[in-house]
Structure 1
Amino acid sequence: MRSDALSYAGCEEPHFLEACTLCSKPLGHNSDIYMYRGNKPFCSQECRQEQIENDEAGERRWKVSSKKSKETSKKSETVQTGTLVVSN
């Protein structure tokens, strides 16, 4: 059973340093833990690097899709200029 410090209102939540964020391998108490973005633990430098590369690829895809979306919306905006004459 886990300590009361890790249990909240009767629900046992896993502590964030119990398993690797990428591969879910249990993290040992006497082994190195590789951190990324403040609160993401990894069992090895390889898992950490793979997560960094995944995040960077996702950010690049987001930037490309955001840029395409902006270009598409600019192209779809039409501005008409001219004079409107109304007679009675």
Structure 2
Amino acid sequence: MSHYSGCMDSQKPHFLEACFLCRKPLGYNSDIFMYRGNTPFCSKECRQEQIEVDESTRKKSWKMSSSSSRSTRKSDPKDSTSKKTVRTGTVAVA
């Protein structure tokens, strides 16, 4: 049983037991590098790798949402499963 474990074996492991990225056990009395409040890493390198993955994912997500908001879908009257086109935007009412 590790230092961070709960008193019962059936409990979930404590979030500070292993590195979030490489799963290396985090030792008692060793440095723990945190990210986003409660995500532990064994080293600056593991933490930096996760930050880069998150930034890359965020950029891809932003590009996808940006490009999909510009495109419109047209319904094909021949296709009975086609969906109606919905336009979104800002509406001002005076």
Normalised-by-shorter TM-score class: 0.7 to 0.9
- Flag structure 2 segments of 5+ consecutive residues without an equivalent: 75-84, 86-94
Match of 1:48 in 2: 47
Q: Secondary structure at the match of 1:41?
A: strand
CA RMSD of aligned residues (A): 2.6
Q: With structure 1 as the length reference, what TM-score do the two structures score?
A: 0.73
Deviations 1:17-75 (A, max 9, x none): 000000000001111000000110000000000000000000000000000100113x7
Seq. identity, %: 53
Query: C-alpha separation between the residues in 2 aligned to 1:69 and 1:7?
Result: 50
Query: Moved runs in structure 1, 4+ residues, more than 4 A?
Result: none
Q: With structure 2 as the length reference, what TM-score do the two structures score?
A: 0.69
Query: Which structure has the bigger radius of gyration?
Result: 1
Match of 1:22 in 2: 21
Letter in 1 for 2:39: K
Number of paired residues?
A: 76
* 1:6 Cα offset (Å): 2.1
Which structure shows the bigger proportion of residues in helix conformation? Answer: 1
